[in-house]
Amino acid sequence: MAEQPIIDFWLSLGSTYTYLAVMRADDVASQNGVTLRWRPFSVRKIMQAMDNRFLAGKPEKYAYMWADIARQAAFYGIPANVPVPHPITEFDLAHRVAILGMREGWGIDFIKDSFRRWYEFRREPGSEPNLSDTLHTLGLDPAAVRAAADAPDIATTLEAETAEARALGIFGAPTFVVGGKELFWGNDRLEHAINWAKTGRIG
């Protein structure tokens, strides 16, 4: 069997549109014979460094974003009790737990469940009670996970991943990267990325 094309799926907890991608990306990829590599990183760190204030101080953009997400969530058949809290407060811990989870094999489930609780119950990912509820659902001990996520090498990995994202030219989330260089920004570019990986065209 030929090797499947690989797409890096750069995602950040607390990124509003990333929710839509997180809930559907694996299904779309597997239906298309593409392997997704989930890469949690801190998009906020990059946006702060770039002074990229996508939403702050822009109520019209906020209002539009929630309406746009609600329409798409209805189309995908996933919950979206918009507006959800944004920006989130505990993004650093959320990302360190996600990095730990990716190492230990429960990262994707953690990310999906964190996002679902954010949009279903309006509880921030990485904060209580979302964090402990999600970890309990995965059969994990929140205190032990928090302690493990405080290990210095977890923070180092998160920083290295974020630095790699920035070096790739990533400025927002989600971003899909094909062949380690072709960027596709946004949930609405997932199909473009998949087609590109397979044919070198977006459709």
Residue 190 · residue 177 · CB < 8 Å? no
Q: Is 139 or 203 the residue whose CB approaches a copy of itself more closely? A: 203
In whole angstroms, the minimum distance from the beta carbon of 132 to a copy of itself comes to 35
State which amino acid sits at residue 128: E
Could you tell me which residues are beta bridge partners of residue 11? 40
Q: Nearest 5°: phi and psi at 116?
A: -60, -45
* Closer by beta carbon to a copy of itself, 46 or else 98: 46
Residue number with CB closer to a copy of itself (133 or 191): 191
Q: Are 169 and 50 in contact (CB under 8 A)?
A: no
148-156, long-range: CB < 8 A, 24+ apart: 148/100, 149/93, 149/96, 149/97, 149/99, 149/100, 150/96, 154/96, 154/99, 154/100, 155/96
Minimum Å distance from CB 71 to a copy of itself?
5
* Distance in angstroms (rounded) separating the CA atoms of residues 37 and 5: 11
By C-beta, is 114 or 187 nearer to a copy of itself? Answer: 187
**What is the closest distance, in whole angstroms, from the C-beta atom of residue 121 to a copy of itself in the complex?**
25
CB of 187: closest distance to a copy of itself in angstroms?
A: 11
Q: Which is nearer to a copy of itself, 57 or 152 (CB)?
A: 57
Q: What is the DSSP string of 20-68?
A: HHHHHHHHHHHHTT-EEEEEE--HHHHHHHHT--SSTT-HHHHHHHHHH
Q: Measured from the CB of residue 203, what is the shortest distance to a copy of itself in angstroms? A: 5
Distance between CA atoms of residues 183 and 180, nearest Å:
8
Q: How far is the CB of 51 from a copy of itself (least distance, A)?
A: 7
Closer residue to a copy of itself in complex, CB, 64/147: 64
Binding site for a copy of itself (CB under 8 A): 50-53, 57-58, 60-61, 63-64, 67-68, 71-72, 74-75, 169-171, 182-185, 188-189, 192, 196, 201-203
